[in-house]
Structure 1
């Protein structure tokens, strides 16, 4: 495996670009390939077997592009399929899961909110992690409809505002002081969420931690890239417009019949 080989990332759509941004900011010299499986979004409503099958398919595409490490930039795919991926493929995997630990450790009210997909909140891995924080009340909320609106490019729509208010206001009333975003799509909603939350409630997502872990694993394996010229490729299996809009017009998005 060459250190010039790219970092591969996949998500059930455009949301994992929030993870890509953190990795690219920390490791600007690295080549990256991002795969958005928007045709099958959201993963959060699918069965565990379906999520595993889609994760295998995404991984095999990235391995065909000679990726040296794969970042599962999707909470639902991580919590439902990361163990199976590590068993099946001989490549390092970085997963992403809700950042319960920093929120629980820093909470003064001992009440934290978590906004995530059904697939993440119902997963065995999430429940195993949550068990470690018995002294904190974790208030869970499934973000029904949020991923679909983001995939449609409706981040700032009245419908999005209405949904977010309905999910967040009960948490506010229960006196949370941290909100954990448990889906890689949700960081794109932070400006909207900040308008709803009181200033004392802090928002935590996993992006920066995932970037640091990616760098650490590449360093351990001697796979950090040395040269400074880098390439960034983005693929989607639906109309590229939404992904293009989120990334900016200077990024080249390729349609993939996948």
Structure 2
């Protein structure tokens, strides 16, 4: 279990890549506007898309600007049960004492804490959630005493589960899908993303995207980390075709 206080901006970047910047992409700017509306309405939002497209980074960056003191971020690495969510929230919200033994008492405690002041509950890796888990989040949100907005961040399974359950999907105020960067977006974004690409030839960037980046921020972070290592070892100021070929050989796969 992780809470908002366990993360700083460096944690947002895959591999903790030194020198990486948060870039104001169209997706991030749209997300910030959407989140502002969701927070004002105390509503639910679903941010979904394939892995590595910058969903979590964008949500974290936007919420640091919009509601830094109100965020409670939880994350799961396996399929949780409603009981797991109760205990994760108990810790993340800083509840005192021992967790109640009975679900009805546990839920009453969580609702009491969530009624004390505004909260933004961010559930990352929400693709691991079952229908019963989503129903539990809805149960908390539906209570008139709680003062919460909920942001689900996850892959396609998260979207599909929510969409096929009318009781759930009808309560989602905003849906936002993240997609791969187009070639034009790569050429605009990547030189700003990390200094190692600042003066790179557009053809070199396009070549790197075809063979390793694939319009995916996480793939570009991994590619960039390898390029930084290569330049340090070779004493070169900027990447070239030979550096990229060495990196591709490290990344493996058919494209290498």
TM-score normalised by the chain length of structure 2 = 0.31
- The structure where strand makes up a greater share of residues is 1
- The structure where helix makes up a greater share of residues is 2
TM-score normalised by the chain length of structure 1 = 0.31
